[in-house]
Amino acid sequence: MTRHWTRPRADPAAPHAGRPAPPSETVSSAIPAARRGKESTMDREGRLTVTAGGSSAIDRTNGRPGIGRHGIVLRWSVWLLVAASWVSGAIFAAYILAFFGGVALKGSGHRWNEALPGLHDAGSLLTTVAIGAHFIAGGVLLVLGPIQLIGRVRRAAPALHRGLGRAYVVSAGVAGLGGLVFIAGKGTIGGPLMDVGFGLYGGLMVACAAMVYGHARRGDHERHRAWAIRLFALTIGSWLYRMEYGLWSVLFGSLGRGAGFSGWFDAVMVFFFYVPNLVIAETFIRVGRKEYGLAVDLATAALLLAAAIFVTVATSIFTTSIWGPRMVSAFN
């Protein structure tokens, strides 16, 4: 049976009496703004469909909007990127905890400098503890981050989400502040430009963590989610930094790299390991709020899929060539 959902007009002398209601007066509980030339039908299963010219334009079942093929592609590209990032981040977190934690427990903290010169300094306890806390907290962030972004977990176990969220926010604060203390106490190996780039990164991480927590406390779930996505984009930065350097070395050798991180590629990397992440995160947040159409959805899906492929390939290279061997060496 076909029904035209139009607002009843009690006054026959109303301005539109005797002729079809204009689009602004068409009402549907499931379709906020039906247009002229479209009508709603409801079958026995409660399936409400808006048709235009005999073809289905919007399909809502049980109050949920239908998803076109491009929407499915976008959703799967998001899941692929999250899954690839989670697996890679978990491997990197295991490497951090096993290598940096393992050699420290054995009293061989000086081996931290095998990963990056100048990290461990027996004569500067504060900066050594700060960078150690930065690494350990970073490992926690890489494991917990993807879990916090899974909608089903948030809905099925809100208490777990809140508990892990507190741990995640605290870890982000510790990681950011630990890096800032290290930079203030010793400076980075790359000099002033790296100090600025890495210092901005640490400051943004602390600020995002504060925003995530603040919006959660106020019950503003939309802003909380947006800032959580931004924080996640930042927390994977230190992991991406290593993968991007390693991938560049495999593809281009020492091109653009100089002693003491003085090359043009080194200069680019002090910002590149987190700024593009924020751009991707912001794109995802804004596309998720509005319907931008097929072209934008597919472009976003392509960007996310390319990122997932990069993460997968880079993780494979690093696990076999660097992370795996160092984890094994920590226990030898």
DSSP character string of 71-130: HHHHHHHHHHHHHHHHHHHHHHHHHIIIIIIHHHHTT-GGGGGGTSTTS--TT-HHHHHH
| Rounded average pLDDT over 53-69 | 40
Looking at every residue in the chain, the average pLDDT score rounds to: 77
Greater model confidence, 67 or 132: 132
Domain ranges of the chain: 2-65, 69-329
The 10 Å Cβ neighbour count of residue 200 is 14
**So what's the pLDDT on residue 203?**
96
**So what's the pLDDT on residue 288?**
58
Domain 69-329 has CATH 2.60.40: no
Record the pTM.
Answer: 0.68
| Rounded average pLDDT over 31-36 | 39
Contact 311, 82 (CB under 8 A): no
Report helix, strand or coil for 273: coil
How far is the first Cα of the chain from the last one, in angstroms, to the nearest whole number? 76
19 pLDDT band (50/70/90 cuts)? very low
Q: How far, CA to CA in Å, does 183 sit from each of 72, 130, 201, 233, 234?
A: 44, 10, 11, 22, 18
Record the tokens describing residue 272, joined without a space: 């590149």
Angstrom distance (rounded) from CA 238 to CA 135: 9
Record the tokens describing residue 174, joined without a space: 């510790």
Q: Which residues pair with 61 in a beta bridge?
A: 47, 64
Buried b (16+ CB within 10 A) or exposed e, 85-109: bbebbebbbbbbbbbbebbbeeeeb
Q: How far, CA to CA in Å, does 107 sit from each of 89, 137, 139?
A: 26, 20, 20
**So what's the pLDDT on residue 289?**
53
**So what's the pLDDT on residue 197?**
96
